[in-house]
Every structure is written in C-alpha cells, then in structure tokens.
Structure 1
C-alpha cells in the first residue's frame, strides 16, 4: 500500500515520457528472444539504434537547416523530448509548438538534460579536422558545448522564457537533471519541465576508452553480451539512446478532479550519494554512495524500505560494480531484497542516458506489471504476480557519485 503523501506537499507528476534506444522507440523488445545488440566496425558488441531510429534521425536532420550540424546526442534528445511533450498533451504534433492553456504556457517551460559526454561525435570530428588542416570551423565551440543539448531541446519545444539546464556527472547525469528539475518545480521556479538524459557514445575512440579500462564484454553481439548480475567476466557494453520526461508540479486536490484516463506516476524524490575514493573508476565494496542515495530518497518520500516493491539496478555488468550495489541494497533492505530488475541486458550501458532509460523501464513495469525474462543465469527477478506499485531506480558513475529515484503509481 502506498503511504499517503501529506495534502500540503506538492506532487511532481510525470505527465509524459519518450525514449529512443537499441529497441527503437519501444520500451520493451518486440521479440525478447532475439538480441538487440550488433557488432561495431571495431569488432566489439554495441547497443546501437535500429533502422527505424536512423530513419527518424535522418528526417529530423532534414526538417530544419540548423539541425543538419547537430551532434547525434542532441538529435536523440530531441526525438525523446518530442515524444514526451506529445504524450503529456503539451503539443499536438511533433512539428508544432507547445500548447498553452490558462495554467501553463511555453514561457514557463524549463528543460534539464543530462549527458556524460555531450556532443561526442561532433567533437571528435572537429578535432580530426584540426589535426588534418590546422584550423577548425567557427561553429565547433557552440556545437560541442554540453549546454547545447538542453538549449536545442528548449528551442525545439518552443520555450520562450524558461531555463535550459545541463548536467554531467558521468552515468548518473540524467538523475542530476531530474533532481534539479524536481527542486525547481517544488520551489515554484517553473511549472513544467522536460528532463532526462541523452548519449551517443558509439565512436571508435569512446569504445577504445572503455576497453582500456578492462571492463568490456568479450561476448558476441548475438549472445546477450551485457549481463547484469551474472558475475565474471565483466560484461559492460556501450549503448546509445535518450529518455525524457514531462514533469509538472500539482496538488493532490488538482489530481482528484482529473479524469482517470491513464495511470498517474509520481516522481517521489531523487537522492544523491558520494564517496571520496582515490580511484575515479572505483567504488567501495559496500557501495557507500549507493547507500547514501537510497536512504536520502526514501527519507525525502517518507517511505520505509518495506514499501519498495522492486529495484531497477544500475548494475552495468561489471563484477565489482554489480556486487557493491547489491551490498548497498542489503545494507538498506536487509536480507530480503525486493525483486531486482535491469534493462541494460537489452539496451547496454548508455552512460548519461542510462538512468533516464532505467526510469522509463520502471514506469513501463508500473503501467503493465510485466517485463521480459532474462535469457542467462543471473540474480535478476523473473516476472511475478506480486503487484508492483513503487520502484526504486539506481544510477552511479565514475568519480564516486550515485543517485536514486523513487517512482510510484498514485491511488487517487
């Protein structure tokens, strides 16, 4: 049973959501028996966008002259943000501006987007151009700043007076964006937010960086190469994608007057943790940063561990990282953990977009009460008949940072 939220506490509602990943625009695979991973030109497995997404990206580039120079990360964010705004009823069509009404207008729409690396592809292209020619284009700087992801989403959404925020804290970047959006909404500094994460890291240089750390999966693309919770060897696999959420601050009284046309999702809070350790790619065996983030978000929501029905793990398939997260969960929940879930075996690790795509996965489970069974030995849960009403979602990144979000379905 969901604990009652005090009547005087503002609720942050997820009105709509959009996503793009190796599964295209679907939250779940059309055929869960076929691996969505492919083999990159470098020979390693990756979770790349399928042909349907490539067609949408090409169409988006052609739609506006300014879009032709944008990085793939920005374009993925635009596709997800358009879906979210349309799903929320904020825009009628993808090529139309946001729909104003008496309570909401485009001049109070804000944007908050997280990305670990931002314009990865364009940055590498401009650098190669500089090495080859000794000069660089005048548009190199504005097209490769991290802020250009959020600012283009705001431009495309028709925002005329809201802020455009950008966040980079490696793989928890999307939850930094959602946490900031939640704080702004509760403070009355905005009434609507498009918030999430985007990443297009499938370049040869970025893949080489992950291989240099020694964590990349040795498994073939068709053999489900990303295996959270499966132990050794390390099965980290890079993916690309984006997920964006349409957020509003509302009162319980306002929600009570709305027709029950579809589930009402509450973003109950976003918590953060940090552990100062010497290795920027390491973490403590106890997952101290995870423990801090989980306890903080449970405290924000006024929820006990027993009231959490499932956990969507960060779990990237690295033995040390997977074990530390589970140690943190045992420290908070005790020996009897809620069902452990993950979508990285379907999407790979999308770096700064991963937390947002994990949250989208959680919302799909809350809505359908279903998820596909994992085709390899792991501790991830199989589908259950036990109702799932509240889900904890974890994320963590290099540098000792972690973040956790808590989402639930509201009983009106």
Structure 2
C-alpha cells in the first residue's frame, strides 16, 4: 500500500443492551438473543432495550468514581464509559497525565440530555416561583457530551458535540476522518450516545405512529418484516472509536480501516424526510463507493439503518437495489437485537460491522423477513448506513486487512 495514508480504528468502546466490553458484546452477538424487556408506559406494555444488569452495574461504578458524575445526564455517562474504553484499548488513556493537545473528540447525540432536561422542566412547571436548579443549563446543553468525555480522557484538542438525529454517530466519524486527513488532530475519538428511555421520548415515538405493539413477542423489533407493520423499539447505549491516521507501511494484518465516508441528502417531502426511493441513501452509498478504486468496490456486507419502520425499511432496501443492482451484497442489521438507539445507532452498527469483520459471523434474521438467506463466504469490506430526520444519510466503509 506504499506510503498512502489510512485511517485505522485503534480502539473501540461501547455499552449497550448487548454488553459493556468486547467479550460481553461478542457473546451477545454470538448468542443472538434479543435484549428487550417490556415496561408500562401510559398504561400500555411497551418494549424497550435497556442496559443489562451487568452493564448497569459498571455504569454505576463509573458514577461513583467522580463526584461530578452524579449531576450528569445518563447520555453523558454512557459516552464517558465508552470513550474511556476506546482510549484504553488504543493505549491513549493515561491517568493523571497532561492534556493531550493532539487528541480531539466528537461525540454526538440525537436527543442529548433527555432525562435531565425532562426532570428540570418538570421541576420548573411544578415550582410556583418558576425557579430551578443552577445546574439545569450547564448539564443539559449538547456541548456537555464532548467536554466531559474530553475531561475523562485528558483530550486537549477540538471538542465537538452535535446532532444529525439518527445519522449523528456516522457524521462524527466523518468529522474524525476529515480532521485527521487535514492535520487538525493527531488522534480522534468519535462516536454517539443516547439515553432515550424516558416517558416523554417514548411518547414522541409513539406519536409518530411507528412504535412496536409486539411487547409480548420474542422479537418486538422486526426490520424487513414480511407483515409490513412498523415495529420500531427504542434502545439506549453508546459506542466510541479511537481513530488515527497512519502510513500504509505501518499497517498490520488484522487492522480495520475506515476506507471511505459517503454523505447524501434529499429535499424534505415528509416529516421524516425520506422518499420511497431512499434518495439520501442512494447518494451516500454511491458517494462512498466512488471514493474506492474502480477495481475494488466489492462490498461483502451492508449493515443497514432499517429501524423497523415500514416506510424507512422499504426505502433503504430500494436504495440498495438502485445503488448495487439486482445482485446486492449480503444485508443485515442489529436492531432486531437492540432496537433503535437514535444518535448512537450508527456507532453501534459500526461496532457490529467490526464484529462481522473480526469473527466472520453474522446471525441470521430469526423471523419471516423480506431478505434472502445471508450468503457471503469471506467478509472483508462492510458498509454501514445511517439516516436522520431532515433527509440526510451517511455510509461508512470498513475494511479488514
């Protein structure tokens, strides 16, 4: 590969309904057991994907490690946990060291400090004088995410917090790639986090008319379902990636590199901003493919966005057919296991892609679906899709050397 520059994933950190470290996450995918429970929401049984008991325990230990963490929103805490894990795996986590000015951070979230905001607003409504806690503003801003992550990993470079709704995490990776290639950072932590299992957020998703009514079903979230009903289920979690640019001569067998990042946009024609043809997906996938050499555009697997909504799933599958023709790559998703984690979903899909690349194993969809059986022999290159409200989409291509 000569001296060409490549973006390598040096470390991965996550906490989700599937697990809280590499071992538990790998076992979660291998077992292929959905991580859903049912809660009572406004008098109705409602499926959600919450952290496991083991993951919740390590998160609570994190909170006890720093007195300041007790006042932070759950979304920030999830991000801090995942970022420290990624930085540690990369060898960048140096306790008590000076700030690393070459290390930048971009953590995104669709909703941000959801739980804290709802709590503070509830207190505001109930207080006759309208007074609220002095911590309300600083702990509910979106910038709260990356600043606390940077603090936790001694990052002294750029700190970006943003929301592009459900494509947020892949947009963070896009920023990381751009910053590294531009020489604006030497190292970059990029990812997404979401803690949306609150009464108001669940009510919002139900109001759109997409939430799953299969609370008593073993698979309440069913992307590609043959029955054509929407089965969207909210989940929580975070995933962060340690990115570094290296010369081709420094690459090693087994390294996973970010080959390309493609972006797409279509004019808004609906509340969610996606057409039946999935124009935004078509554009993002083609943009990613066009950056690959003409002779080397063989995608082995696509980890799709497909959140279990009738219109969204159909649009993405139509876009894949338009971009790849009648013989598209194998297609899979992890949302039937962990639901839709909004701004963290793209990051958790990237983690799933890394699992597929490392272990060459993808669990089959266990319910009647519109997909053919997964048929791929060797997985070398994986594309990950994500889309957000407003008509935007992103596609990231990973390759295992």
- Fold conserved between structures, TM > 0.5: yes
2:38 maps to which residue?
39
* Contact persistence 2:72–2:139 (CA under 8 A): yes
* Contact persistence 2:300–2:330 (CA under 8 A): yes
Matched positions, count: 391
Residue 22 (1) aligns with residue 17 (2): yes
* SS of equivalent to 1:110: strand
* SS of equivalent to 2:201: helix
* TM-fit CA distance, 1:304: 6.2
Residue 90 (1) aligns with residue 92 (2): yes
1:201 maps to which residue?
196
Residue 251 (1) aligns with residue 278 (2): no
1:153 maps to which residue?
149
Matches within 5 A, 1:281-292: 281-292=272-283
2:325 maps to which residue?
334
| Structure 1 pair 288–305 and aligned structure 2 pair: CA distance change class (3 A) | farther
Structure 2's unaligned 5+ residue stretches are none
2:115 maps to which residue?
121
| Structure 1 pair 379–88 and aligned structure 2 pair: CA distance change class (3 A) | farther
1:284-329 CA-to-partner distances (Å, cap 9, x unmatched) read: 1111100111111112233568511110000111111111111111
Q: Which of 183, 203, 209 matches 2:178?
A: 183
1:60-82 CA-to-partner distances (Å, cap 9, x unmatched) read: 11110111100000011111111
* Contact persistence 1:27–1:361 (CA under 8 A): no
* Contact persistence 2:239–2:351 (CA under 8 A): yes
* Contact persistence 1:280–1:400 (CA under 8 A): no
1:371-409 CA-to-partner distances (Å, cap 9, x unmatched) read: 222210114465556100000100001111111000001
* SS of equivalent to 1:223: coil
State the distance in 2 between where 1:379 and 1:311 align.
15
State the distance in 1 between where 2:173 and 2:30 align.
31
Q: Which of 326, 337, 356 matches 2:347?
A: 356
Structure 1's unaligned 5+ residue stretches are none
**TM-score, length basis structure 1:** 0.91
State the distance in 2 between where 1:267 and 1:51 align.
33
Residue 308 (1) aligns with residue 273 (2): no
**TM-score, length basis structure 2:** 0.93
Tell which deviates more after alignment, 212-221 or 373-382.
373-382
| Structure 1 pair 30–324 and aligned structure 2 pair: CA distance change class (3 A) | closer
1:62 maps to which residue?
64
RMSD in angstroms over aligned alpha carbons?
1.8
State the distance in 1 between where 2:307 and 2:222 align.
8
Q: Which of 345, 350, 362 matches 2:336?
A: 345
State the distance in 1 between where 2:180 and 2:246 align.
9
Tell which deviates more after alignment, 31-40 or 227-236.
31-40
